[in-house]
Structure 1
Amino acid sequence: MAIHSAAAHSSDQVLPFRESLLAMLGIAFVVMLVGLDSTVVGTALPTVVAELKGFELYAWVATSYLLTSVITVPIFGRLGDFYGRKPFVIASIVLFTAASILCGMADSMLWLVIARGLQGIGGGMLVGTAFTCSPDLFPGAHVRLRWQIMLSTAFGISTAVGPSLGGFLTQYWGWRWVFYINLPVGVLSLIFVSRYLPHLRHTAPDAKIRLDWPGALLITASLGCLQLFVEMLPKHGFSLGMLALLATSIAAFYALWKWEHKAPQPMLPFDLLFDPKLSTLFLLSLLSGFVMFSLMFFAPLLYQGGFGLSPQEAGLLITPLVACITVGSIANGRFITRLKNPNVMLHIGFVLVAISCLGEVISNRWTAHGVIACFMLTGGLGLGFILPNLTIFIQQESGREHLGIASALMQSLRMIGSMLGTAITGTLINHLYADNVHRALDTEQAGAWFASFADPQILISRETQSTVLEQLARAGHNGRWLLEAARDALIAAIHMGLGLAVVVAIIALWLVRRVPAISLHVKREPDVVTE
């Protein structure tokens, strides 16, 4: 163990080029692990349910992962500030990979849900610690931007190939390999991280650290109840149970607020959350998550259910969105260090995202696929300008002692924004779709058939459509007209939902002017401890 001053190395990076490259390769493999899992599993889920049964637990395969990960991100982000990030990155790789194996071995839906919860703990640890390693290695923000292109590329490639890879593995090797594929990536990550990532600490080894366990428990209660409320709201509406979850989340957050103000080493420093230099950036992280997941989650439903496209055609239209996030991140890294005011890239990013959402709102079944792909491309570029800059700006302004928790808060708020985006937009779409379908059915005196049209999946499943159309024909109803009316109802509902995303993007654009002027020039950093 040795203590090195920042001046002992380049002021821009802690390690020489070769060691930096090997360390960043390890982090890139970790990023691929997270990116793959976030996209590859969804394709396999219908097959999983068909084999394991237990459709009532279908949503919980995703919910259990999100529930545990959104809780652990801020907790382990803070612990990484105290103890250094390398031990937690290694532990998270081991836990995530082991949980992936358990998922692949599942013989019931309950087993799979529990294993996904364990996997979410590992995923939250990864997001809370691994994504903060690059500012440790590269204190110079302009150098860090160039190196983070590796991470953006790794994430972009893994998310772009995830759906296709999931379909291939499920069809030819079986759905269990959707989880087993994490094993080789996890082993590569573990080798590179354990061998080449330095253990950097920003507190002295003999410094007395008091872990804020009450704070961790209150974070768990507040975020856990919020996650459950948001996930279950579209299905249950504002029932008594849902309101109880919301009230519990608010009460836990208030208790957290009171406790953390008197804790000597708070798990969640509220002074940081409401710091004038950071508060707007945190709010923009939440709004960007809202818009991004509203677009990514409901555009495929619009294309398949509304426009009647095949899953392959819909996938091709979505690909520019995912791919251009990487392209935008790479271009951003080349441009931003040359700008006198780096904040302008956030303005451009939110303008492009607003245009993309608006383009989806005005698209219809007769819009050329090339035009729709251009709207997706525009949104991807915009997100590529927004996401890395929010990360860099927050890391630049937070200070070394709060680097991990600041980055974790950003990731947590983006996840919360995505939950709110899918829940609020989903609830709006569900209600509008149901109302429009009711009116169409009543026009044909076919109100008794509402149960068949209540789930928009009927507009995607050819087999279900054939069955329902035969039954309607025997009953003397014009099934084709009703099906087209349901498509129109879904299109109108999703257009309204994505219109909300346009409004949120415009609000975010207005808020960008409140972001303080960011300087990406090198700041002298305090001593770090290298083990």
Structure 2
Amino acid sequence: MAVHTAAHHSRGQLLPFRESLLAMLGISFVTMLVAFDQTVVGTALPTIVAELRGFELYAWVATSYLLTSVITVPIFGRLGDYFGRKPFVIASIVVFTGASVLCGAANSMLFLVIARALQGIGGGMLVGTAFACIPDLFPDSVVRLRWQVLMSSAFGIANAIGPSLGGFLTQYYGWRSAFYVNLPVGLLSLVFVWRYLPHVRHIAARGKMRLDWPGSLLIAVALGSLQLLVESLSQHGLSRGVAALGVAAAVSAVALWKWEQRAAQPILPLDMFANRSLAALFTLSVLGGYSMFSLIFYAPLLLQGGFGLSPKDAGVLITPLVVFITIGSILNGRIVTRIRRPNAMLYVGCALLACACIGTALATRSMPHPLLMGLMVLAGVGLGFLLPNLTVFAQETAGREHLGIATALLQSLRMIGGMFGAAVTGTLITHLYARGVRDALTSSNAIQWWTTMRDPQILVNQDAQHELLASLAHAGHNGAALLEQARVSLVTAIHASLAVAAVVALLALWRCASVPHVSITRRGEPVPAAE
């Protein structure tokens, strides 16, 4: 075991520049793994379902991944605080890459869902530990913000090219290649992490850790029940099963709260929630996740299904959103360290996100494409200002003992906010669209086509549209007019849903005032041990 010198630490980083760069490249490749999976696989899903024939499990391809990752993020975030993060980063790469190979080899939808759940465990370990490696490498927050741009850039690049790469691989090499693409990225990240990422341990915790198994189990039950509740409520409405999930989530959350108050070494230290600054940052993470996922998931549906744009044209208009998250992060790193009140960047980020949601909620088919792209730029820059600062502010506030769990909780809470955002927005769109389409069909005496037109995907699938138009024309109906009414219903539904997302973003803007002043200054800290 080697201890790095204070000379390096006085420059705000644990390692010299070259070693820091190589270690950060390893973490960046790890980040690309998760980003590629989120974007590449989504493009391939329709083709996967068509071949494996299991549409009833379609949603579970995403849900199983989200479920296991949301559960494992806080657990491994806490374990990294005690045992160091490098072993868990290495294990997560192995699990994630191995599960990706299993996904590519799937011969049934059930097999794919199980492999995706295993992949989610690896993804949760990645998110829970990799993000917290950065403050280990760069204790000085000013230096950290500059280096964090490298990871933000990797994430932005992967998000930008992911959808196109997914479509290309699926079309020319089959959907299985969308999973196998993780193999070379995983092996590359494994080499860099194994070779260059130091194993930093916090000496105060060494030899004293006893894993809080009851707390881990209660976290799994609480978050798992909540995830299933949100998914089931949006798909099936209120039922006995959904009510049971709500009870299970509430009971396990209360039991977790009670247990962690008595636990000698809690996996979820409750004193973090008593910290006014951390509690405010956690709230902002949930609200920001709601608005972010609502916009990212449903703006493409608005452009393709509502405005009738091709997937290619819609992709061009959406691309600035993911690209400018990276550019916004770079700008943020240069601005936030030079202003007297860094909290101002939270206000600006939430305001830009709210403006983008409002603008998209008012967008029409005749709106010029540069203006639509401008709205996506606003959203991207806003998120680029908001997300890095939430992480850095939480790390500054939590202290080294709770650094990993605080970082992991921010990611988990953003995902939970995104879950609620996607579910609530999806439910609103489904009900408002269905009501508009039913009214249009009823007034035209064409209600027998309700089953075909109740799913908004009919407005995206050109082949299905041609079949529907031929069927309606054969029966003497004006199919084009009915499809146009369906588009109007979809646009109205998405506008209403994004208006709710805008209200949530404005609520986040108001909550920024509850974040106490955070100073981002250079500092030196005791040098942790590194192997």
TM-score by length of 2: 0.98
Cα distance, 1:252 vs structure 2: 0.5
1:107 is paired with a residue of what secondary structure? coil
Alignment of 1:62-461 (within 5 A): 62-204=62-204, 206-461=206-461
| Mean Cα deviation higher: 505-514 or 442-451 | 442-451
Distance 1:246 1:322 in 2: 34
Cα distance, 1:469 vs structure 2: 1.5
Cα distance, 1:6 vs structure 2: 5.3
2:203 is paired with a residue of what secondary structure? coil
Unaligned runs of 5+ in 2: none
- The question of whether the paired residues in 2 share the 8 Å contact of 1:11 and 1:139 is answered with no
Cα distance, 1:512 vs structure 2: 0.5
| Mean Cα deviation higher: 435-444 or 213-222 | 435-444
Amino acid at match of 2:77: G
Cα deviation code 1:154-180 (max 9, x no counterpart): 000001100000001111111111111
Distance 1:520 1:18 in 2: 25
Distance 2:465 2:185 in 1: 41
- The question of whether the paired residues in 2 share the 8 Å contact of 1:428 and 1:497 is answered with yes
Distance 2:206 2:453 in 1: 65
Distance 2:408 2:177 in 1: 30
| Match of residue 504 from structure 1 | 504
Cα distance, 1:437 vs structure 2: 1.2
Distance 2:206 2:105 in 1: 43
Amino acid at match of 2:193: V
Distance 2:485 2:6 in 1: 66
How large is the Cα RMSD of the aligned pairs? Answer: 1.2
Cα distance, 1:9 vs structure 2: 3.0
| Percent of pairs with identical residues | 63
2:529 is paired with a residue of what secondary structure? strand
Report runs of 4+ in structure 1 exceeding 4 Å deviation. 2-8
Distance 1:339 1:477 in 2: 64
1:518 is paired with a residue of what secondary structure? coil
Amino acid at match of 1:145: L
1:338 is paired with a residue of what secondary structure? coil
Pair 1:15–1:473, CA change in 2 (3 A): same
- The question of whether the paired residues in 2 share the 8 Å contact of 1:332 and 1:384 is answered with yes
Amino acid at match of 2:98: A
Unaligned runs of 5+ in 1: none
Cα distance, 1:440 vs structure 2: 1.3
Distance 1:221 1:73 in 2: 14
Pair 1:389–1:206, CA change in 2 (3 A): closer
Cα distance, 1:205 vs structure 2: 7.2
Amino acid at match of 1:502: A
Amino acid at match of 1:35: A
- The question of whether the paired residues in 2 share the 8 Å contact of 1:104 and 1:177 is answered with yes
Distance 1:108 1:473 in 2: 38
Cα deviation code 1:415-466 (max 9, x no counterpart): 0000000001111111111111121122212223211210001111111111
- The question of whether the paired residues in 2 share the 8 Å contact of 1:142 and 1:521 is answered with yes
The alignment covers a number of residue pairs equal to 531
Pair 1:210–1:183, CA change in 2 (3 A): same
| Match of residue 484 from structure 2 | 484
Cα distance, 1:57 vs structure 2: 1.0
- The question of whether the paired residues in 1 share the 8 Å contact of 2:10 and 2:524 is answered with no
Cα distance, 1:74 vs structure 2: 0.2
Distance 1:397 1:359 in 2: 34
Distance 1:285 1:206 in 2: 31
Cα distance, 1:129 vs structure 2: 0.2
- The question of whether the paired residues in 2 share the 8 Å contact of 1:6 and 1:528 is answered with no
Cα deviation code 1:158-212 (max 9, x no counterpart): 0110000000111111111111111111111111111111100113575321110
Cα deviation code 1:310-333 (max 9, x no counterpart): 110110110010110001001111
| Match of residue 33 from structure 1 | 33
- The question of whether the paired residues in 2 share the 8 Å contact of 1:202 and 1:527 is answered with no
Distance 1:427 1:205 in 2: 46
Cα deviation code 1:368-409 (max 9, x no counterpart): 111111111111111100011111100111100000000000
Pair 1:206–1:298, CA change in 2 (3 A): closer
Cα distance, 1:274 vs structure 2: 3.2
Cα distance, 1:50 vs structure 2: 1.3
Distance 1:205 1:296 in 2: 40
- The question of whether the paired residues in 1 share the 8 Å contact of 2:277 and 2:514 is answered with no
Pair 1:9–1:436, CA change in 2 (3 A): same
Amino acid at match of 2:89: V
- The question of whether the paired residues in 2 share the 8 Å contact of 1:5 and 1:526 is answered with no
- The question of whether the paired residues in 2 share the 8 Å contact of 1:170 and 1:177 is answered with yes
